[in-house]
């Protein structure tokens, strides 16, 4: 299916993005610059080679590798400013960007210092029309104690720019119920709550996140396609799914959910989920690592079969379901 003029006009519309990892936006040239800062030579071609994978485990390995070059507050400032430039170029006026604070702790960094540098680097972009808010993210397989450290770090920062707490990583690693206390604490501190669920896991992971953790948005959530009752619940409670088509294709998540190999973007369940009344937003997840952009994701939505009216509604959802103040 060829893109219509409307699909291309999306590029000129003001947009919001709600599922975007700062560390996943590191372009090959920026990765090389980071390595050089620390006395290493890293050809851009090596980064491109690493940014090729066929399954979720391969993606996690690449993510771990590239973040090893992000070591100091100044490094975080560099990648944050570069991401802001990328967003402005796509007419993004608002974004909620996820920070892998769990990884910062793993590497014995100071998240508060990193965050301060990020804010200083990105505040000037507000005058250029881009507002950024932030989500502090824990790593599921690191456990509940490590996740609680992330919540406490967000509180210590004391910034209204931190709008939510979330958990990513391997959703199959630990039971959802182990994080109940962490999410209760996040709510107590006034943070919105979200989680990656139903990406490679089944629909039960989404239902658990809603019923046990009280999450307000679901990252990915494409496994909902297997459970009509769950889709009805998501629609009734107005809990949106943050869907990232290129990510689902390149991590193999789409293959997992469809029970096949070499699935195509046209087979993505986005349109069917949307037509069950579930609110959906479109996002890039890790744009550099998945060789995509927000504009490309909207072209993907057209290839998947969304109508012009549906695409316009999805653009609006980016603002409607934002946790922070958009303007």
**pLDDT by position in tens, the chain (length 327):** 455 666 678 878 899 999 999 999 999 999 999 999 999 999 999 999 999 887 888 888 898 899 999 999 999 999 999 999 999 999 999 999 999 999 999 999 999 999 999 999 999 999 999 999 999 999 999 999 999 999 999 999 999 999 999 999 999 999 999 999 999 999 999 999 999 999 999 999 999 999 999 999 999 999 999 999 999 999 999 999 999 999 999 999 999 999 998 999 999 999 999 999 999 999 999 999 999 999 999 999 999 999 999 999 999 999 999 998 776
SS3 content of the chain, % helix, strand, coil (to 5): 55, 15, 30
Q: Is residue 116 part of a domain?
A: yes
Q: Please enumerate in sequence order all residues whose Cβ is within 8 A of that of 275, keeping only pairs 6 or more positions apart, or say none.
A: none
Number of domains in the chain: 1
Q: Shortest CA distance to 241 belongs to which of 164, 318, 162, 308? A: 318
CATH number at residue 252: 3.20.20.140
Q: Is residue 291 part of a domain?
A: yes
Which range of residues forms the domain containing residue 86?
A: 5-320
Say how far apart CA 239 and CA 241 lie, in whole Å: 7
The answer to whether 63 and 107 have CB atoms below 8 angstroms apart is no
Alpha carbon 159 to chain centroid, angstroms: 20
At residue 307, the pLDDT reads 93
Q: At what angle do helices 203-213 and 228-237 cross, to 10 degrees?
A: 40
Residues pairing with 132 in the sheet? 95
At residue 327, the pLDDT reads 61
Q: Is residue 327 part of a domain?
A: no
Q: Is residue 136 part of a domain?
A: yes
- What phi and psi values does residue 113 have, to the nearest 5 degrees? -70, -40
Q: Is residue 325 part of a domain?
A: no
Residues designated as active site: 199
Q: Is residue 67 part of a domain?
A: yes
Task: Report CA-CA distances (Å) from 245 to 63, 106, 268, 269, 300.
Answer: 18, 29, 7, 9, 7
Report the relative pairing of strands 131-139 and 162-168 from DSSP bridges: parallel
At residue 244, the pLDDT reads 98
Which residue is it, tokens 């690493």? 50
Q: Is residue 19 part of a domain?
A: yes
Q: Is residue 61 part of a domain?
A: yes
């Amino acid at each position: 299916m060829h893109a219509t003029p409307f699909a291309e006009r999306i590029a000129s519309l003001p947009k919001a993005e709600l599922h975007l990892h700062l560390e996943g936006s590191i372009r090959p040239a920026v990765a090389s610059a980071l390595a050089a800062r620390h006395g290493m030579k890293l050809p851009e071609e090596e980064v491109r080679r690493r940014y090729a994978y066929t399954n979720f485990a391969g993606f996690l390995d690449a993510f771990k590798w590239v973040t090893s070059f992000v070591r100091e507050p100044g490094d975080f400032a560099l990648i944050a400013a570069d991401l802001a430039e990328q967003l402005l170029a796509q007419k993004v006026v608002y974004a909620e960007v996820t920070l892998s604070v769990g990884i910062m702790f793993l590497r014995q960094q100071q998240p508060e210092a990193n965050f301060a540098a990020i804010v200083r680097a990105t505040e000037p972009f507000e005058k250029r029309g881009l507002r950024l808010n932030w989500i502090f993210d824990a790593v599921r397989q690191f456990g509940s104690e490590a996740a609680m450290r992330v919540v406490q770090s967000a509180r210590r920062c004391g910034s209204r720019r931190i709008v939510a707490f979330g958990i990513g990583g391997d959703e199959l690693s630990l039971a959802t119920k182990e994080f109940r206390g962490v999410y209760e604490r996040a709510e107590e501190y006034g943070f919105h709550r979200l989680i990656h669920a139903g990406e490679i896991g089944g629909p039960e992971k989404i239902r658990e996140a809603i019923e046990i953790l009280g999450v307000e948005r679901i990252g990915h959530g494409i496994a909902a396609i297997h459970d009509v009752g769950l889709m009805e619940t998501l629609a009734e409670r107005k809990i949106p799914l943050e869907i990232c088509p290129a990510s689902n294709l390149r991590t193999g998540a789409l293959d997992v959910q469809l029970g096949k190999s070499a699935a195509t973007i046209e087979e993505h369940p986005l349109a069917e989920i949307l037509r069950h009344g579930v609110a959906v937003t479109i996002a890039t997840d890790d744009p550099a690592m998945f060789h995509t952009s927000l504009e490309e994701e909207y072209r993907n939505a057209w290839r998947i079969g969304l109508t012009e009216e549906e695409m316009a509604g999805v653009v609006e959802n980016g603002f409607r379901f934002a946790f922070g103040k958009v303007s």
